[in-house]
Amino acid sequence: MTGKILVFDSINGDSTQLRFLLASAHYEILHLNEPEDVVNYSLSRRPDLILVSGDAEDPVVTEICQTIVSYAVVSDIPVVLVTGACGPSTRIEALRMGVSEVFRAPVDRLVLLARLRSLLRASDDRRQLTPDRRYTGDHELMDDCKPLTGPARIGLVAADAEAAWHLQQRLTPLMNDQFILFPEDSALGDSAMRNMADVFVIAADLTAPSDPLRLYSELRSRSATRHAAFCLIADSSCSDRWATALDLGVDDLIEASADVGELAVRIQKQIAAKRRSDSLRLAMANRVRQAMFDPLTGLFNRRYALPALARIAELAATRHEPFAILLADIDQFKRVNDTFGHTAGDTVLVSVANRLRSCLRPADLLARIGGEEFLIALPGVSLEQAHATAERLRLAICGRQISLSSGEQIEVTASIGLSAGTPAHDSLPDFDQLIFAPDSALLVAKAKGRNRVTIARYAA
């Protein structure tokens, strides 16, 4: 089965042909006639899509649609309304209440199935971005998704500059957003890539030799415009091309003769969906960063460093190349906290981290693995090279004063333990074994008076 679709018939609705069409496309169908059954089933079983057949002005139909979109747990389920003749205001109101699409019966088979595929695909993409709290317990991720606000950037693409301008004139009274005009032949230029539109609205002649679908595919493939939403305005008489556009991933298709109010509402819905996706991606990226990085210094944390060090050791063994491990510890760091306060201690940690970072290569691993302890892994270096690097790190730390927020200047030093060697591939040590030698060397450096580098050979 390609999806589970709940079909509801109001008194004035007849979905017999629709259900036959869906069955022929191998959808799993549940047919219900009672409004309360639709809500209860949606909450308990969560269908992939809800198709409502009936009069758009029927209070029962309105209540069904409004109820579904009002429940947060199922509000992302696409709701498709198939209705008889209805005026522009009725269609606009249905879209505003949260209905994903409104079709006028009789429905074109190709377009309906393509639109359902489009909606199901978009819904699945959102679910992949959104963790299910029932199973992950991740209540904080959604709280981290701060809504993006302010005017959106809407790229209007038309055959020429005059056509794009006329489209802007129609939309400006209804939308408080920033419009960027692109004649079709310049939509792939530097300006489009720099302006980073949230939504592209393409006035498309699907029969034109220039092929607006190719233009859309190019825009979707570019990294600068990949995450934009795309709306196509086109004549629905080209049903096979409409279906192709939807299957290519166009977010919404709008009839060329549609009321400008409907056009504005559909664009606004795409802006809202785009911003929800952007917020989720940003929140997830922040979560990934929190899992990998120390929030104070911006260095990798212990959780990341353990498997990263193992990968470096394994690669060194595979290539029969040496690598070195350094453990650096700020000397008498507790005295800094006790004398100047923990804010001063944080300043010292950040300063030391920056000095270490400035002395290392991009290929080197640098992580904060404890309160004032730093791990450095140097792939492909000999013992002599590692010793020189360790001395450079030590001098970078002790060589300059650190300015505190109080205006005071302090100096700190660091002790460094070092081990180097080439591990055998058939007996790769674990993390504790890898850092045993440099940790032992670090203790020796502390015992000998601090502010020094001590070497312990890594026995492979």
Does one domain contain both 149 and 119? Answer: no
For 164, the enclosing helix (H) or strand (E) is helix 161-171
- Dihedral, CA of residue 96, residue 265, residue 9 and residue 38, to nearest 10: -50
Domain CATH number, residue 363:
3.30.70.270
**221 pLDDT more than 60:** yes
**In this structure, is residue 172 part of a structural domain?**
yes
Confidence of residue 204 (pLDDT cuts 50, 70, 90): confident
Confidence of residue 1 (pLDDT cuts 50, 70, 90): very low
Does one domain contain both 197 and 256? Answer: yes
414: Cβ contacts below 8 Å, ≥ 6 apart: 328, 329, 330, 331, 352, 393, 394, 397, 398, 451
Edge-to-edge strands, sheet with 229-234: 178-183, 153-158, 199-203, 229-234, 252-255
CB distance 325 to 310 below 8 Å: no
**What pLDDT sits at residue 48?**
93
What is the number of structural domains in the chain?
Answer: 3
Does one domain contain both 396 and 251? Answer: no
**141 pLDDT more than 50:** no
Q: Which of 129, 163, 194 is the last residue of a domain?
A: 129
Question: Mean pLDDT over residues 13-37, rounded?
Answer: 89
Domain CATH number, residue 267:
3.40.50.2300
382 vs 361: CA distance, rounded Å: 15
CB distance 410 to 404 below 8 Å: yes
Question: Mean pLDDT over residues 30-34, rounded?
Answer: 90
Q: Which of 129, 159, 179 is the last residue of a domain?
A: 129
**183 pLDDT more than 50:** yes
Average pLDDT, the chain: 88
Does one domain contain both 320 and 426? Answer: yes
Confidence of residue 124 (pLDDT cuts 50, 70, 90): confident
**In this structure, is residue 410 part of a structural domain?**
yes
**In this structure, is residue 55 part of a structural domain?**
yes
Return the higher-pLDDT residue of 86 and 138.
86
Does one domain contain both 10 and 101? Answer: yes
**In this structure, is residue 136 part of a structural domain?**
no
174: Cβ contacts below 8 Å, ≥ 6 apart: 260, 261, 264
**Is the C-alpha dihedral spanning 452, 455, 456, 460 positive or negative?**
positive
Does one domain contain both 375 and 434? Answer: yes
Residue range(s) defining the domain that contains residue 273:
142-290
**109 pLDDT more than 70:** yes
List pLDDT tens digits, range 325-384: 999 999 999 999 999 999 999 999 999 999 999 999 999 999 999 999 999 999 999 999
Confidence of residue 131 (pLDDT cuts 50, 70, 90): low
**What pLDDT sits at residue 150?**
83
Q: Global pTM? A: 0.73
Which among 76-80, 224-228, 451-455 has the top mean pLDDT? 451-455
**134 pLDDT more than 50:** no
333 vs 318: CA distance, rounded Å: 39
- Percent of the chain at pLDDT > 70 equals 91
Question: Mean pLDDT over residues 119-142, rounded?
Answer: 64
Question: Mean pLDDT over residues 59-73, rounded?
Answer: 85
Return the higher-pLDDT residue of 430 and 140.
430
**459 pLDDT more than 60:** no
**What pLDDT sits at residue 139?**
46
Question: Mean pLDDT over residues 226-246, rounded?
Answer: 90
**In this structure, is residue 368 part of a structural domain?**
yes
**105 pLDDT more than 90:** no
Does one domain contain both 358 and 428? Answer: yes
Question: Mean pLDDT over residues 102-112, rounded?
Answer: 91
Return the higher-pLDDT residue of 138 and 346.
346
**What pLDDT sits at residue 458?**
47
**What pLDDT sits at residue 154?**
95
List pLDDT tens digits, range 384-425: 999 999 999 999 999 789 999 999 999 999 999 999 887 665
**429 pLDDT more than 70:** no
Question: Mean pLDDT over residues 198-224, rounded?
Answer: 87
Does one domain contain both 322 and 439? Answer: yes
**What pLDDT sits at residue 425?**
57
Does one domain contain both 170 and 283? Answer: yes
DSSP of 205-265: -TTSTT-HHHHHHHHHHSTTTTTSEEEEEE-TT-HHHHHHHHHHT-SEEEETTS-HHHHHH
For residue 186, the 8-state DSSP code is G
**In this structure, is residue 146 part of a structural domain?**
yes
